[in-house]
Amino acid sequence: MTDQTLPIPASEPARRKPASRHVIGWLQAAPLALVLAVFLVAPIVMIVVVSFWGATEFSIYPAFQFDNYAFLFGSDVTYRVFANTFKYALITWIFTLLIGFTVAYFLAFHVRSLTWQIALFLLCTIPFWTSNIIRMISWIPFLGREGLANSTLLSWGVIDAPLEWLLFSDFSVILAFVHLYTLFMVVPIFNTMMRIDKSLIEAAADAGATGWQTLWHVIIPLTKPGIMIGTIFVVTLVMGDFITVRFMSGSQSANVGRMIQNDVGLLQYPSAAATAVILLITVLLVIGILLRFVDIRKEL
Amino acid sequence: MEPRPRSFYVLATFFVLFLAFLYGPTITIAILSFQGPSGGLTFPMRGTSLHWFRDLFEQQAVGDIWGSFSRSLVLGLMVMVTTVVVSIMGGLAFRKRFAGSGVLFYLIITSLVIPSILVSLGVGLIWSQAGLNVHWSTSGFGAQLTWTLPFGLLIMFAVFNRFDPSFEEAAHDLGASPWQTIRHVVLPIIAPSLIGVALFGFTLSYDEFARSLLTSGSYNTLPLEIFGMTTNVTTPVIFALGTLTTLFSFIVIGIFLLIVWLTDRRRKRSGSDAGKGLV
């Protein structure tokens, strides 16, 4: 890794010998490195190791066998569940992108005072700091069989009987995903948009571009890094989720996270670990593809 | 000022609808938590009362709410302090471009994007194979740090990217030791961002679910307790609890934002005007 590609420019005055720079750097980074080693690297290693272990009904034992993977790849369920996971990720991505982009665009280009921009932006981000579980629960009065949506539609005469698919269905799962994760799109897109030089937009207008042309040929290309970062957030959060699917589908749909959680519930840790390894590889592949479009380190 | 284009009104309407979508459900359960004693989980309201709030405070039939709340509070504070300290040190370290910092940077990103259940499962497995009991203050604490630290560090990276090194040079020229420079120059300058890091550290920990699930042991944190309730509680008491804990989150967020605003204002008022006359 060369110096130019590091996230942080050497903004500290260089007055020490290089050797002590590395030593002090590592001393300062030691707590961080320690936490990541124990609670990130070691768990991943552990999962990879355990994915080759065997399990009885009550316990797991060390081994080196490919049974868990063989079973995983030999089962139709695996492919269906993975396909379902991708489906959730794709649909959620489309909605969060469209909504997030529009919201960020409004904030960045149509709200004129900085104070208002910050205030409205905060309003969009505050739910991020509250409980996801509560935010899921709060859909019950809306979507339930006797919920607001059904009773409103009934009273308007749009439907004759309550819609059953509003709650505990793919619909409610995706609705909850969009509800929970759109702000992960809004924040990075707004952040990139705020850095766009406003004179570029004036230039486009002066050159005769319509509003749509400016949007398509100027703003969207310049916003791409923000879109990519938002995409990475949304896709990884949805692909790794298990609780939203569990709660909002009423255990009727499955994704990979649910599969892992099921195995854990049955104490089949090696099988859960094998699924987790495949999930991790899948997520990293997706991120790897997305990172080809953006250099995260430049965006900080 | 030129008149607003028509697109402004279209987008403003969209924005308002988005906010309604964002906050509507929360407001709804806040209203429903005032259901009368015979009311259910949906409208209509059967009278209004504080019945369900009283339930929370009186009987313990709904689980160990106050115990789990105090655990979440303590854990949130532990995670907050650790996140702030480790993020500052990490932020300072990364400015030195020490050998291996690239690897560490990618680990931070991995920590952010890794599916939470892997952390939960992996930490749980390590603890059980080591013959230890998972506990919220040890394994749970560490698992949550893998979620809060990336946010703290990314904020620190953004801060130090915009940090003017001439302040430090000036301090150094005036004879300040490295520690004095950090204590009296760097820290005061980055203070508002540190409040932001603290906000992330506390709230993300307080609401964390997935990474705590297999790492917290037999004593639940509040989100785990609430999730447990969803499977067996079918009265508005769960809305009352949801309303209270959301309110608590709002108060915490409000306090943090107020501190940021106050420090910012104080700095503007009492800050030096040196250099301003030059431009």
The answer to whether residues A88 and A176 touch, using CB atoms and an 8 Å cutoff, is no
- Confidence at residue A3, expressed as pLDDT on a 0 to 100 scale: 41
Distance from CA of A74 to the nearest CA of B (A): 23
Q: Is B129 helix (H, G, I), strand (E, B) or coil?
A: helix
- Alpha carbon of A232 to those of A89, A97, A255, B78, B183: distances in Å? 11, 11, 18, 29, 37
Q: Where do the H-state alpha helices sit in B33-95? A: 51-58, 65-94
Question: B272 vs chain A: nearest CA distance in angstroms?
Answer: 23
Whose tokens are 């550290």? That residue is B201
Q: B265 vs B252, B261, B277, CA distance in Å?
A: 20, 6, 21
Surface of B (139-168) touching A: CB under 8 A? 142-143, 145-146, 149, 153-154, 157-158, 160-161, 163-165, 168
| Rg from Cα positions in chain B | 24
Contacts of A105 in chain B (CB under 8 A): 11
pTM, 2 dp: 0.87
| Rg (alpha carbons) of chain A, rounded to whole number | 24
- Report whether CATH 3.40.50.720 matches the domain A81-299: no
The average pLDDT across B120-132 equals 90
- pLDDT value at residue A197: 86
Q: Taking 80 as the threshold, does the pLDDT of residue A39 lie above it?
A: yes
Among the partner residues B101, B122, B239, nearest to A44 by beta-carbon distance = B122
> Pick from A178, A299, A174, A283: which is nearest to A228 by CA?
A299
Decide: helix, strand or coil at residue B35. Answer: strand
Report CB contact under 8 Å: A8, B94.
yes
CB atoms within 10 A of CB B235: 17
The alpha carbon of residue A72 is apart from the nearest alpha carbon of chain B, in Å, by 17
- Choose the mutation target among A45, A59, A134 for the interface with B, i.e. most B CBs under 10 Å: A134
Q: Within an 8 Å CB–CB cutoff, is residue B66 touching chain A?
A: no
* Inter-chain residue contact B28 with A141, CB threshold 8 Å: yes
Q: Are B212 and B89 in contact (CB under 8 A)?
A: no
pLDDT band at B278 (very low <50, low <70, confident <90, very high): very low
Do A82 and A256 touch, CB atoms closer than 8 A? yes
Min distance A75 CA to chain B CA atoms (Å): 22
Residue listed under structure tokens 């699917």: A245
Q: What angle do CA B23, B196, B78 make, to 5 degrees?
A: 100
With CB atoms and an 8 Å threshold, state whether B149 touches A28. Answer: no
**Among A130, A147, A287, beta carbon nearest to B249:** A130
Query: In the numeric block, which tokens belong to residue B249?
Result: 């989150």
pLDDT digits (tens, 9 = 90+) for A97-141: 999 999 999 999 888 888 888 889 988 888 888 888 888 888 888
Phi then psi for B35, rounded to 5 degrees?
-50, 150
Every domain of chain A and the residues it spans: 81-299
| pLDDT beyond 80 at A15 | no
What is the average pLDDT score of chain A?
Answer: 86
Q: Higher pLDDT residue, B231 or B170? A: B170
Which among B8, B27, B42 is the top mutation candidate for probing chain A, defined by the most A β-carbons within 10 Å of its own β-carbon? B42
Chain A nearest-CA residue for B94: A8
- CA A66 to chain CA centroid, Å, is 31
A 216-275 residues with CB < 8 A to B: 232-233, 236, 239-243, 247, 257, 260-261, 264, 269, 272-273
Is the peptide bond prior to A13 cis by the omega test (within 30 degrees of 0)? no
Among A6, A15, A31, whose Cβ lies nearest the Cβ of B89?
A: A31
The interface residues of chain A toward chain B in range 16-75, judged by CB-CB distance below 8 A, are: 21-33, 35-36, 38-44, 46-47, 50
Here the tokens at position A84 are: 């379902």
Q: What are phi and psi of A75, to 5 degrees?
A: -105, 135
- CB < 8 Å to A43, chain B: 118-119, 121-123, 125-126
pLDDT over 90 (residue B178): no
Using one digit for the tens of pLDDT, what is the confidence trace for B43-100? Answer: 777 777 787 788 777 765 556 788 888 999 999 999 999 999 999 999 999 888 888 8
CA distance A220 to A227: 9
Percent of chain A with pLDDT over 70: 92
Ranking A56-70, A81-95, B195-209 by mean pLDDT, the lowest is A56-70
pLDDT for A5 beyond 50 = no
d(CA A195, CA A177): 28
B186 — contact with chain A (CB < 8 Å)?
A: no
For residue B52, the model assigns a pLDDT of 79
Mutate to test the interface with A, among B73, B86, B117 (most CBs of A within 10 A): B117
Please compute the mean of the pLDDT values over residues A15-19 and round it to a whole number. 59
Residues 6+ apart with CB under 8 A from B196: B155, B256, B260
Chain A contact for B238 (CB, 8 A cutoff): yes
Domains of chain B, first to last: 63-232 (1.10.3720.10)
Using DSSP, state whether A15 is helix, strand or coil. Answer: coil
Residues 194-223 of A with CB under 8 A from B: 211
Q: CA-to-CA distance for B121 and A66, rounded, in angstroms?
A: 20
- Rounded to a whole number, what is the distance in Å from the CA of B277 to chain A's nearest CA? 25
Find residues 79-118 of chain B whose CB sits inside 8 Å of chain A. Answer: 85-87, 89-90, 92-105, 107-111, 113-118
Q: How many CB pairs under 8 A join A and B?
A: 298
By C-alpha distance, the chain A residue nearest B222 is: A131
Exposure string of A55-74, with b = 16+ CB inside 10 Å and e = fewer, is: beeeebeeeeeeebbeebee
Residue A224 has pLDDT above 60, yes or no: yes
Q: Which pLDDT belongs to residue A13?
A: 54
Spatial neighbors of A74 by CB under 8 A, at least 6 apart, are: none
φ and ψ of B227, to 5 deg? -65, -40
Chain B nearest CA to A276, separation (Å): 6
Calculate what percentage of chain B has a pLDDT beyond 90.
29
Contact between A277 and B125 (Cβ < 8 Å) = no
Residue predicted with more confidence, B170 or A160: B170
Residue with tokens 């499955």: A254
Largest CA distance in chain A: 79
Interchain proximity B97–A33, CB inside 8 Å: no
